[in-house]
Amino acid sequence: MERPAYIRQSVINGAPLIGTWVSLPAPAIVELVGDAGYDFITIEGEHAAFGRSQIEDMVRAADAAGIPSIVRVPMEGNWISTALDAGTGGIMIPHVENADEARAIVKAARFPPMGDRGVGAGRASRYGMNIGPYLQGANDGILVALMIESVEGVRNAREIASVPGVDVLFIGTGDLGLSIAHSADAGFDIDGAIGQVVEACQSVGCAVGMMATDLTIFAKWKARGMSFMMVGLDVMILGAALKQLERDARAIG
């Protein structure tokens, strides 16, 4: 499998993609997701207990399983370069609120002249043995997905989506719902906010997506034009399956 495995062109072309979150630092989970037929995985580097070497191991497992990976990491520090040097084909950055932040993220994800990402002999470049070809392909191949998770982000969605190099706006409904609930003048509910982001992206040709907590929500927003959808989180899928299995076993008597 080519390393990194890029899905950016599929996203730009509007292909409907379905991914899932992986938050357990266990490469076997990545292999299971790959075997299940998902289009990509997102490695949860914001809330889960991943160290830098564990992120690389998860990306390595994704490559071995034949499934493209994206890593969610904070914009602070050098987490963007850490994820990209590990060989992932994309990054997802939380809590983006304006176009200036979007431009800074794109710059950090691109090599000169498009950005200021540093060159390193990491896994992505086959430990320095493939730097030339990697440099040629990375700027065109790396996916940049930005998360809209606040009232401010919704209001600036069109400007954020218009920044060159931004490929996806991904709506974080949990934090967005909290932001709306604690805003004195949001002017929209969660469905209204999602609709505004969808319309903003569609107006400038940017892909848009979110995590659907159930298939009814998935169907609703897919019909509205979302093409970059996430369903499920490994710990929640495992927890629900364990509870159901326990109930079914006890029901036998």
The catalytic residues are 47
For the purposes of burial, counting CB atoms within 10 Å of the CB of 73, is it exposed (0-12), middle (13-18) or buried (19 or more)? buried
42 near 93, Cβ under 8 Å? no
Tell how far CA 7 is from the center of its chain.
11
Contacts 24+ apart (CB under 8 A), 185-193: 186/151, 188/154, 193/151, 193/154
Query: What angle do helix axes 52-65 and 27-36 make, rounded to 10 degrees?
Result: 30
For the purposes of burial, counting CB atoms within 10 Å of the CB of 161, is it exposed (0-12), middle (13-18) or buried (19 or more)? buried
Q: What tokens were used for 241?
A: 């399956």
For residue 170, which of 75, 81, 67, 91 has the smallest C-alpha distance? 91
- Identify the helix (H) or strand (E) that includes residue 232: strand 228-233
- Identify the helix (H) or strand (E) that includes residue 78: none
